[in-house]
Amino acid sequence: MSNVYDYLWLIPVLPALGAVIIALFGPRFLKNQSHWPCVLAAGASALLSFGVFSAVNSEDPPPTSHNYGTWFRVSPFTEAEEPKAEPRRDVEVAVDFSLRADALSAIMLVTVTFISTLIAIFAIGYMHGDPGYPRFFAEVSLFVAAMTLLVSGNNFLLLFAGWEGVGVCSYLLIGFWFTKPSAAAAARKAFLVNRIGDFGFILGILLLWVSSGYYLDYDNVFRVLPDDPAITTLVCLLLFCGAAGKSAQVPLHVWLPDAMEGPTPVSALIHAATMVTAGVYMVARCTPLFQVAPEAQLLVAGIGGFTALFAALIALTQNDLKRVLAYSTLSQLGYMFLALGCAVGPKGGADLEHSLVTFAVIAAIFHLFTHAFFKALLFLSAGSVMHAMGGIDMRRFGGLRKVMPITNVTFGVGALTLAGCPLLSAFWSKDEILAAALGASQQSASYGAIYFLLFGAGVLTAGLTAFYTFRAYFMTFWGELKLPPEAGQHGHSSHDTAHGHDHAHGHAPAETHAHGPVDESKLESPPVMTVPLIILAVFALGIGLVVGPTELFAHFLEKLHKTSGFPEATEHGMNFGVMGLGTLFALAGIGVAWLMYVKQPELPGKLAASIQGLYQVSLNKFFIDEIYDQMVARVQGFAEFCRTVDQEVVDGLVDLTGEVPRLAGSLFRPVQNGLLQFYALAMMLGLTVFLIALARSL
């Protein structure tokens, strides 16, 4: 294949086709073979993505974008009627189906399709026997299509189309077990919170549309920056509003923990590895805008750093394994935004020559890349645990390392990586983020102190991350073997049990042993689930070491300087001081967790009792949900008010108008009383009045 654009369009189209095929034929014909179109399409897209990647990486990279056709176009105005009229700028407003193959898109495509394929394979085992099996794979396939469109689109509207597409898939998949009211509510909440973000996003696109001369292709938008720096800052803030919604940054983070109502492969794919990073991708894509808006960058970094710390604090006390991971995702996304926010020039953004812009963005994307692997790994391992235990409350099981050896190792690897254990992948990426924050604090003229504070928050979060990750790991896999009664039924608890957070796998009744003793040898998951786990584990362990210190990753993304308006990268050696500090905090976190949950398991309870207030605040997620509930209640109250006004006032007036003829009629009705004498009297009176009038006028 000579030209990358001959097959780039297939990457979103194949999974979309897969989704259509499953939707049409799944329920009737494919049934429990419905995974094939999804897995094959995702796999093919992954292969094609590697093709794109290698083409972009080659000596002779392809052109940055290619236009396949027009989505919609309006070309206003013919020529002026009179030639002397002032010449008008002929504004043709067109939105193209135009795809882009640059380093950023390529790396995102590879990440998304590769992880999607692995997770789809995992789901074959995990979702086995679910009544909605075809639906699940149709929706996952559609998701892959939308997500690849999102990262490969070449203008803001295609980005937005993919953006909303993944939103819908996320909505459908969170509500996959729709019979559970909590799942239905979580789905709606996710979509609505995202829509709040989209509100900003749309306005940002509008501003860009105006400032870019009405053509939304990236290259054009970034070439024609808004004249007024205030407008640039505003655009950046609005775009970030959208990113914060999609990537669940404070205060729009509330939907992500609830989104864990969806099946675990979905949590792994959409709500950890790929979709939630769309916001990071978008801000990274808009680096040419953000780099000249230091105030917006400060907010991005601030929100990012705050979310990192805030979510880590909540994760400390959660008892639900998936929720711990969800808050950890929030926290890691916060890291990415912290890095993105550090992409500022030294003098308030004016001088980009020696800035760390590219370094910071690469750090964020690098973390996005490694995070996708280890977080997917952690979620899938958690899924494996749930598959065996039939529930997810960590207090109900323990010591699983003996009965689920493979899962123990894979979760352990994921936990070590997330904690930032030296030489594993997150170690490299997190170090780069911290180094970027430190760099920004030294470079930023006016906001150095704030950036240093954020650096501190980042380091502190590293320690907390290590603690809560290993708290979860120790609670689940170490200590005494403790199994809940529903374990071993492969979840067959389904929607009915109180703790069936995640389960609708209805294996054939013959296989389930309802209340029999737990067969410990059968708890480990089948190979179709463990093999993807092992692959992911290998990547989580090694990918950072392979591409991080060797700077392969950085050099690849530095190509963006030539194609996508990024400033030239400057050399940044490794910062061993930051590395050492990060490692110290990580090891301390692990140590404390070991002390509290392995050595002296009674310690956490005592500690919680002694700081009851703080513990409750953390356990209840800082009561943010309650604040939102209040706001929603207000909106609904106003809606109710509108309805009353409509019914009573507006329609009341209409009905009142309708009564006017009747009223008028009833005024004059007594006149027509049917009495002949009365009529005669009236006639005589009338005649008299007439005659008098006549006489007077003469």
Partner 1 sequence: MQEYDLLLMSLVIFVPSLFAFGLLFFPRGYEEAMRWWTLAGTALTLGLSLCAFISFKATTLDNLTGRPADIRTRAQLEYRAAEADRLADRKGGPEQRTDKQNDDWVARRPWIEPFNIDYYLGTDGISMALVVMTTVLSFLAMIASWNITKFVRGYCILFLVLETGMLGVFLSLDFFLFFIFWEVMLLPMYFLIGVWGGPRREYAAIKFFLYTLLGGVFMLIVILAFYFTDIRDFKKDKPPDEQNLSKEAKERWYEPWSAEGTPKEAVHTFDLVLLAHVGREASKIIDSRDDSVLVRARKALAEEKDSNKQQILKEKIDRLTTKWGFFTSEFQIATFLLLFIGFAIKLPMVPFHTWLPDAHVEAPTPISMILAGVLLKMGGYGIIRIAWPICPWAAKELAWYVALFGIISMVYGAFTAMAQTDFKKLVAYSSVSHMGYVLLGVAVWPTENNQFWSWGMNGAMFQMIGHGVTSAGMFFLVGVIYDRAHHRNLNNFRGLYEPMPLYAGISAVIFFAAMGLPGMCGFVGEFMVVLATWNFSKAFAILAALTVILTAGYVLWTVQRVFLGTNPAYKGYRDIDLRELSCAIPLVVFSILLGVLPGLLLSWMEPSVTGLVDTLYRLTASAK
The three state secondary structure string of 350-381 is CCCCCCCHHHHHHHHHHHHHHHHHHHHHHHHH
The single residue listed with the structure tokens 């709500």 is 271
State which of residues 29, 31, 79, 689 lies at the interface with partner 1 (CB under 8 A): 79
State which of residues 17, 168, 423, 598 lies at the interface with partner 1 (CB under 8 A): 168
Both tokens assigned to 395: 């207090």
CB of 207 to partner 1, least distance (A): 8
Is 17 among the residues that bind partner 1 (CB under 8 A)? Answer: no
Window contacting partner 1 (CB under 8 A); options: 84-92, 358-366, 456-464, 534-542:
84-92
In this structure, are residues 554 and 569 in contact, taking their beta carbons and an 8 Å threshold?
A: yes
Window contacting partner 1 (CB under 8 A); options: 104-112, 170-178, 224-232, 396-404:
170-178
Is 634 among the residues that bind partner 1 (CB under 8 A)? Answer: no
CA distance 137 to 688: 94
* Helix, coil or strand: residue 130: coil
Please give the size of the binding site for partner 1, defined by CB under 8 A: 64
Is 73 among the residues that bind partner 1 (CB under 8 A)? Answer: yes
State which of residues 11, 52, 56, 157 lies at the interface with partner 1 (CB under 8 A): 157
CB atoms < 10 A from the CB of 266, how many?
30
172 or 363, CB closer to partner 1?
Answer: 172
State which of residues 354, 402, 599, 643 lies at the interface with partner 1 (CB under 8 A): 643
State which of residues 85, 631, 663, 698 lies at the interface with partner 1 (CB under 8 A): 85
Window contacting partner 1 (CB under 8 A); options: 79-87, 291-299, 453-461, 594-602:
79-87
77 or 679, CB closer to partner 1?
Answer: 77
In this structure, are residues 537 and 409 in contact, taking their beta carbons and an 8 Å threshold?
A: yes
157 or 459, CB closer to partner 1?
Answer: 157
Is 651 among the residues that bind partner 1 (CB under 8 A)? Answer: yes
Q: Is the dihedral of CA 157, 199, 307, 414 positive or negative?
A: negative
Both tokens assigned to 124: 């074959």
Is 133 among the residues that bind partner 1 (CB under 8 A)? Answer: no
Closest CA to 125 of 349, 407, 350: 407
Element (H, E) at 99: strand 93-100
CB of 622 to partner 1, least distance (A): 24
List the Cα angle 158/153/237 in 5-degree steps: 65
Is 51 among the residues that bind partner 1 (CB under 8 A)? Answer: no
Q: Which residues pair with 95 in a beta bridge?
A: 72
Is 195 among the residues that bind partner 1 (CB under 8 A)? Answer: yes
Is 161 among the residues that bind partner 1 (CB under 8 A)? Answer: yes
Q: Which of residues 93-122 bind partner 1 (CB under 8 A)?
A: 93
Q: Is 479 left (phi over 0), alpha (psi -120 to 50) or beta?
A: left
Is 520 among the residues that bind partner 1 (CB under 8 A)? Answer: no
State which of residues 77, 576, 623, 679 lies at the interface with partner 1 (CB under 8 A): 77
8 or 95, CB closer to partner 1?
Answer: 95
Element (H, E) at 66: strand 65-74
Window contacting partner 1 (CB under 8 A); options: 183-191, 270-278, 466-474, 579-587:
183-191
CB of 656 to partner 1, least distance (A): 12
Q: Which residues pair with 93 in a beta bridge?
A: 74
Is 29 among the residues that bind partner 1 (CB under 8 A)? Answer: no
CA distance 598 to 697: 118
CA distance 633 to 218: 40
95 or 330, CB closer to partner 1?
Answer: 95
CB of 282 to partner 1, least distance (A): 15
Window contacting partner 1 (CB under 8 A); options: 356-364, 480-488, 523-531, 634-642:
634-642
121 or 190, CB closer to partner 1?
Answer: 190
State which of residues 203, 545, 588, 592 lies at the interface with partner 1 (CB under 8 A): 203
How far is CA 347 from each of CA 352, 445, 569, rounded to the nearest angstrom? 9, 6, 17
CB of 239 to partner 1, least distance (A): 14
Is 261 among the residues that bind partner 1 (CB under 8 A)? Answer: no
Burial class (CB in 10 A: 0-12, 13-18, 19+), 540: buried
Enter the DSSP assignment of 551. Answer: -
23 or 357, CB closer to partner 1?
Answer: 23
Window contacting partner 1 (CB under 8 A); options: 109-117, 285-293, 313-321, 644-652:
644-652
Window contacting partner 1 (CB under 8 A); options: 380-388, 454-462, 568-576, 635-643:
635-643
Is 187 among the residues that bind partner 1 (CB under 8 A)? Answer: yes
How far is CA 40 from each of CA 46, 114, 360, 371, 693, rounded to the nearest angstrom? 10, 12, 36, 25, 101
CA distance 349 to 215: 26
CB of 325 to partner 1, least distance (A): 25
CB of 349 to partner 1, least distance (A): 26
Is 160 among the residues that bind partner 1 (CB under 8 A)? Answer: yes
In this structure, are residues 290 and 300 in contact, taking their beta carbons and an 8 Å threshold?
A: yes
CA distance 110 to 588: 35
Residues counted in the chain = 698
CB of 368 to partner 1, least distance (A): 24
State which of residues 40, 196, 535, 587 lies at the interface with partner 1 (CB under 8 A): 196
Is 24 among the residues that bind partner 1 (CB under 8 A)? Answer: no
CA distance 414 to 381: 9
State which of residues 74, 631, 667, 675 lies at the interface with partner 1 (CB under 8 A): 74
Query: Phi and psi dihedrals of 68, rounded to 5?
Result: -90, -15
200 or 420, CB closer to partner 1?
Answer: 200
CB atoms < 10 A from the CB of 450, how many?
16
Q: Is the dihedral of CA 363, 369, 375, 377 positive or negative?
A: negative
State which of residues 658, 667, 674, 676 lies at the interface with partner 1 (CB under 8 A): 658
State which of residues 179, 570, 616, 620 lies at the interface with partner 1 (CB under 8 A): 179
* Helix, coil or strand: residue 320: strand
Both tokens assigned to 126: 């995990």
Enter the DSSP assignment of 152. Answer: H
Query: Phi and psi dihedrals of 69, rounded to 5?
Result: 160, -175
- Residue 533 makes CB contacts below 8 A (sequence gap 6+) with 122, 377, 380, 381, 384, 406, 407, 410
State which of residues 143, 156, 171, 335 lies at the interface with partner 1 (CB under 8 A): 171
164 or 551, CB closer to partner 1?
Answer: 164
* Helix, coil or strand: residue 316: coil
In this structure, are residues 278 and 163 in contact, taking their beta carbons and an 8 Å threshold?
A: yes
93 or 592, CB closer to partner 1?
Answer: 93
CA distance 285 to 680: 93
546 or 639, CB closer to partner 1?
Answer: 639
Is 675 among the residues that bind partner 1 (CB under 8 A)? Answer: no
Both tokens assigned to 622: 């800082």
Q: Which of residues 566-625 bind partner 1 (CB under 8 A)?
A: none
Query: Which residues contact partner 1 by CB under 8 A?
Result: 23, 27, 70-82, 85-86, 88, 91, 93, 135, 157, 160-161, 163-165, 168, 171-172, 175, 178-181, 183-185, 187-188, 191-192, 195-196, 198-199, 202-203, 206, 209-210, 495, 635-636, 638-640, 642-643, 646, 650-651, 654, 658
